[in-house]
Amino acid sequence: MARFIFVTGGVVSSLGKGLLSASLGALLQARGFKVRIRKFDPYLNVDPGTMSPYQHGEVYVTDDGAESDLDLGHYERFTGVSARQSDNVTTGRIYRDIIARERRGDYLGATVQVIPHVTNAIKEFAIADTDDVDFVICEIGGTVGDIESLPFVEAIRQLRNDLGRPNGVFVHTTLVPWIAAAGELKTKPTQHSVRELTSLGIQPDVLLCRVDRQLPDSDRAKIALFCNVAKSAVIPALDARSIYDVPLQYHAEGLDDEVLKAFGIDDAPEPDLARWHDIMDRLDNHEGEVTIGVVGKYVGLPDAYKSLNEALVHGGLANRAKVNIRWLDAELFEHEDANLAAELEPLHGILVPGGFGERGSEGKIASVKFARERNVPFFGICLGMQMACIEGARNLAGIAEASTTEFGDTPEPVVGLITEWMSEEGLQQRRAGGELGGTMRLGAYPARLAGNSRVASIYQTTEISERHRHRYEVNVHYRDALEKGGLLFSGMSPDGQLPEIVERTDHDWFVGVQFHPELKSRPFNPHPLFAGFIKAALDKSRLV
């Protein structure tokens, strides 16, 4: 039977519960255990698919088509275990399913209540499909004390009792702030946070204390005394120089040892952390440096492009190169006084990422043109590929009014709404004006690559599978015109109807993809497209 680790947070949000869960999963995995990590989100949205990136950061998409929390990206990158639909649940999804059951009469006339119906549904989610793993790590979103998270906290309290106390461990993250006026760290917020948690029936077994400096031994002893935990179970968590140093840092502080001790496991092998040491060696001892410009519309919030940011770092790891990222607001390039060349000339590579809506689109198209004309390595992802096709249509194929139906009616719909496509479940159909949530082409789909293409040489295969999240697609009816303009359609869906990859044969490195390769990149297994893009940028940097 799987053992469960429940991760909660207190005092403030953004203490790093996701990285804690991912790092702990990686450490247990390094000891030979099989792990699965799950996220409970207390908001009322069914999933984050309709939420603005400025509200919630990026939407992470799994192979099976779940639009999920960005923390699932951390889980996958740190453990290499592909997340599933069943690894992320929200209050909205729980209530939707309960109301559907009630309408069907499944509760046989009972009054439907938070306890036991909501808590039972949460517990069912937590334990589903866990027979093949040793540990399940369940991260509870939000902050202890928030009204939204109360049903989840109550559910994990019940679940630990259901499983038997030896099969459940609580890890609580808190903040130990430095008060400059007093010249000392303050433990009181941690004490109050633990008191709040214990008032809900949960006594934490391990405390992870976020600090911006060393936590004195006297403060660890004080926290242990007032919070009723062993002193060795008070784990300091200092800011790390890279998120990929966090597993090594937590192991050095004894996090995985304390969790195993709480389970009564004292014979676990020492973790093999060689690959994490190798990652840090590559970060610390790089042999080159590049600057990549990301021309997007959500650049004010780095979490909006979290997986993209990490995939670029992974591309650097593959080439032992330091990657400096410049976040450029595409909308600024649309102003009459914009100096495009001044912003883009210093770059060794230009990347136009995905997004939705018309804002900033002309700035993205201008960036594509700059990269094409100046022979700067270019990578277009999702909307970025579509903008590359529109730019090619306007400037090389003679289609001056080329645009996308996403931005309104156009006489030349080089990009249009996809209304149907084939999946493993059969024909999928969508209509304009339908619901937005969960109605895109989502999840992993196969593609076939032209054997003589650049991308086939990068992938070292002509059959690939990549994750998608989009409603609009390059119109295959414009293929001949675009290819005459030098844009090769080098990747297509198996039925030949949906363009997946375009590239330019007259350019050192110019690739656009309809899917999101960043979602499958790992620090110890960088995605080949990002590795190739950074290599091209590195080659350009050495020519300057």
Order across the sheet with 412-417: list the strands: 402-404, 412-417, 472-474
**Could you identify the residue written with the tokens 């990747």?**
491
The pLDDT-based confidence of 421 (bands split at 50, 70, 90) is very low
Does the pLDDT value for residue 370 go beyond 60?
A: yes
What's the pLDDT band for 169 if we cut at 50, 70, 90?
Answer: very high
For the segment 10-33, what is each residue's pLDDT rounded down to a tens digit? 988 889 999 999 999 999 999 999
Region 214-227: mean pLDDT is 96
Tokens of 527: 């995605």
- Set 139, 172, 518, 527: catalytic member: 518
Adjacent-strand bridge partners of 326:
293
User: pLDDT tens, 426-449?
Assistant: 545 555 554 445 568 899 999 999
Domains in the chain (CATH in brackets) are: 3-271 (3.40.50.300), 279-416+473-543 (3.40.50.880)
| pLDDT tens figures, 108-131 | 989 999 999 999 999 999 999 999
Of the candidates 244, 170, 252, the one whose C-alpha atom is nearest the C-alpha of residue 214 is 252
Is pLDDT of 238 > 50? yes
Confidence bin at 416 (pLDDT 50/70/90): confident
| pLDDT number for residue 120 | 96
Please report the sign of the dihedral spanned by the C-alpha atoms of residue 481, residue 484, residue 486, residue 492: positive
User: Please, what is the average pLDDT of the chain?
Assistant: 92
Find the helix or strand (DSSP H, E) in which 373 lies.
helix 361-374
Before 116, cis peptide (omega within 30)? yes
pLDDT for the residue 339: 84
Cβ–Cβ < 8 Å for 474, 501: no
Do residues 8 and 173 lie in contact, with contact meaning Cβ atoms separated by under 8 Å? yes
Query: Do 68 and 47 form a contact (C-beta atoms < 8 A)?
Result: yes
* Over residues 462-473, mean pLDDT: 94
Which pLDDT score is estimated for 425?
Answer: 54
* Residue 314 falls in the annotated catalytic set: no
Q: Average of pLDDT values for 258-275? A: 95
pLDDT at 57: 84
Is residue 37 pLDDT above 80, yes or no?
yes
Residue range 129-166, pLDDT digits in tens: 999 999 999 999 999 999 999 999 999 999 999 999 89
DSSP 185-197: E--HHHHHHHHHH
Which of 382, 468, 503, 527 does the annotation list as catalytic?
382
| pLDDT for 532 | 97
Average pLDDT for 196-200? 96
Indicate the SS3 state at residue 498. coil
Q: Angle formed by the axes of helices 217-227 and 188-199, to 10°?
A: 20
Both structure tokens of 120: 């039972």
* Cα atoms in the 13 Å half-sphere on the side-chain side of 537: 34
With CA atoms as reference, report the closest residue to 202 among 5, 493, 467, 448: 5
Query: What's the mean pLDDT in 511-533?
Result: 97
Residue type for position 226: F
Q: What is the pLDDT of residue 420?
A: 47
Three-class DSSP category at 252? helix
Give me the mean pLDDT over the 50-73 stretch.
89
For residues 89-117, give the mean pLDDT: 94
pLDDT score at 50: 82
Are β-strands 349-352 and 288-296 bridged in parallel, bridged antiparallel, or unpaired? Answer: parallel
- Average confidence (pLDDT) over 470-480: 92
518 is catalytic: yes
CB 488 within 8 A of CB 512: no
DSSP state of 114: I
Residue 36's beta-bridge partner residues? 136
Tell me: pLDDT of 498 over 80.
yes
Q: State percent of the chain over pLDDT 70.
A: 95
Rounded to an integer, what distance in angstroms lies between the CA atom of residue 278 and that of residue 57? 29
Q: Specify whether 56 is catalytic.
A: no
Q: Structure pTM? A: 0.93
